[in-house]
Structure 1
Amino acid sequence: MKKSVKTGRLLFNISIVLLILVTFAIGISQAETTKTSEFKELVFAGGPAGGVWYGLAGSIAELIKDEFPELLVSVMPGGGIGNPTLVEKGKTQLGLSLAFLYRAASEGAEPYENVHKNLRAIATVGSSDQGFFLVREGVPIKSIKELAEKKYPLRLITTPKGSTGAIASARILEKYGITFDDLKSWGGSVTFTSYTDAASLIADGHADANISPIVPALVELMLRVPMKWLPMEEKIIDQLVEQYGYSKNFIPKGKYSFAIEDGWTIGGANVILVSIEVPEEIVYGITKTLCEHPKVVRDWGYWYADFDPKIAWKDLGGPLHPGAERYYRDAGYMK
C-alpha cells in the first residue's frame, strides 16, 4: 500500500513538472510568434546607388518580399564601413559589409570607435579582391620590398582617408616597414581620392601607383596605360589575414591583365549583416530563401559566381544570428 502511494505521488509530481515545462514552452513560442507578428519593416543598406551592392541588396530584398509579403522591405544606399553602424543603431535592419569590417566593428577596432554589440550575420555571399599594389610599367621597382630598400620617391594614390582601401594601403606598407610619411620624406607623395580621379592622375602622369580593389575605372585605365603588379609574399598575406580578418585570395595567372603569374592578395568576404533584434523566425526565412535561390546572388558577377549555400555560414568575421544558424543546421550544412 505504501509503495502504491509513493508511486502515485511520484507520478503526480512528474505530471506537474511536465505541465510546467509544456506551459513554459508554449509561452516562449507565443512570445516569439507575437514578436514576429509585430515586426513590420526591414530596411536593407546596400552600397552607393547604381553600384553592385545596391543592386544585390535589391535582388535579395525581392526574395524577402516573396517570403514575407506582410513585411515592408526597402533598400537604401550605404557603404561597407557605415553599414555595420547603421544596423547597430537600428537605422536599418540589414546591411552588406565585409567580414573584416564585421570583426572590427564587433571589437571596436579601426575604423570603429565603439564595440558594436547588436550585429549578427546571415551569410557570406562572395569575396572581393582587395589591396592590389599597381605601378606604372616604367617605375624602376619590381617589388614592395625593393620600394623600401631603395626609398623610391613613389607618388602613390589610394582611396579617401578612413575608407577600407586607405586603411588596407597603410597596413600593407606597414608590413614592409613603410609609412605614408616615409613616402613623402623620400620625395614622393600620397593622394587620397576617388577611383575615377586616381585613374586620371595616373593617365596624365601625375601619379605612379595605386593601392585599391580592381574597379571599372582602373580596368579602363589599364587599357591605356601599362601597369604592373607588385604582389605581396604569401607570408605577408597570412599575417594580414590573421591580424585583421581579411580573406586570403588566390589570383591565377591571367585573371587580370597585370597578373602575369600566379599570386595572392587580401580579400574581403561580402557579408549580410542583420540586427540581433530581428526575430529568429524572420531571419530563418531570409536565410532559407537566400540559400534556395543562389542564382539571385551568382548573377551579380565574378565575385558572387561561386556563392555556395553549403559554406555560406563560414568566414563571417563574427557570430551568426540564431535564426540563420538554425537554418544551416536544419539544412545539414552545419553539424
Structure 2
Amino acid sequence: MGLGMRLRAMFAGLGVLLAAVAVDALAATEVRGVRLWRAPDNTRLVFDLSGPVQHNVFTLTAPNRIVIDVNGAQLATQLEQLSLSNTPITSIRSAQRTPTDLRVVLDLSAAVDPKSFTLAPNQQYGHRLVVDLFDQSADTAPKVPATTTASVPQAPVTPTQPAVKLPAMPNAKRDIVIAIDAGHGGEDPGAIGPKGAREKDVVLAIAKELQRQINAEKGFRAELVRTGDYFIPLRKRTEIARKQGADLFVSVHADAAPRSSAFGASVFALSDRGATSETARWLADNENRSDLIGGAGSVTLDDKDRMLAGVLLDLSMTASLSSSLDVG
C-alpha cells in the first residue's frame, strides 16, 4: 500500500471516529418518567433518567417559580399526567433550551425551599434526579392526602397529635405514647411480591390497623410516623417520634422471602455494633449533641465535654437497647 493510500485510510478512520463522537455528544439522556409525592412538610419530584445528568435548580419570584435545568437531557414523557392537587405546584412547563438541554419550570402558589440531588441506579430504578420542595411556613402548607397516586381510598386514621410535652411529675399518670413507623414509602417501594404487592403499602396498612388497636386500649396512644405514600429519611423518622413524645418506637417492615411457604414474624432491636456506630455519628454532629438524651428527657449534652457526653449517650443507648429487647 502506497503512502497516499495509507494517509487516505488513516483520515477515513479518523473521520469515522469523529462522527461516532459527534453522535454520542448529540445522544442526550432521556427523562423517561416523572413521579410526585406529597409529604407533611415537602413535595418531592423524581425524574427517572436513562443515564447520568448535570443539573441546576434555582428560584424566581413575582410570581414564585422553581427552574430546573437538566444538561444533556431530553424530555421523553408527558408532564400533564401528574396530579398537582394538595401541593404548592400549580403547573409544570418544559422546553428544550438546546437539543440536549432541558428546562423544567414549576409554577408555585407559595414560596418553597428547594433541594436537589441525583441518585445512581439500584435494583429497582435507574438514574434519578430528585427535587424536594420544602414548605416555608406550616400555616400555609397544603393538606396532605393519603397519597397522590392511590386509586383506592384508605381507611381513616386518627390524626397525628401535636408535639407532646411530657409531665414533669414522675408519678403523674399519662398515656403511653407509641410511634408506629411504616417502613419505606414514596419512591422507595421496599420488597415487591410476585403479584406486584409493594411492601410500602402493606406495612402502612398494618401500621394503621395497629394504631387502631392500640388506641382502643386504655392508657395507650399510637401515633403514625408516616401517614401516606411519601418518603421519610431514616433519621427524620426518629425525629418525628421524638416530637410526638413517644415512649416506644416501632418500625414495621414486610421482608421478602425466597420461598412462598415462609410465614411468621420476627422482632429485633438495634445491634450493639449499630448502637456504637450510631453513637459515633451523634457525637460527630454538634447539633445532635445538644439534643435530648433518650428523646424525651430533660438532660442535654450542651454543657458536657466530649468524653462525658460519649459516656452518657452510650449509657442511654445501652439502656434503650435493653428495654427494646425486653419489649420485643
TM-score where L is the length of structure 1: 0.30
Query: More strand per residue: 1 or 2?
Result: 2
Query: More helix per residue: 1 or 2?
Result: 1
Structure ranking higher on relative contact order (CA contacts 8 Å, 6+ apart): 1
TM-score where L is the length of structure 2: 0.30
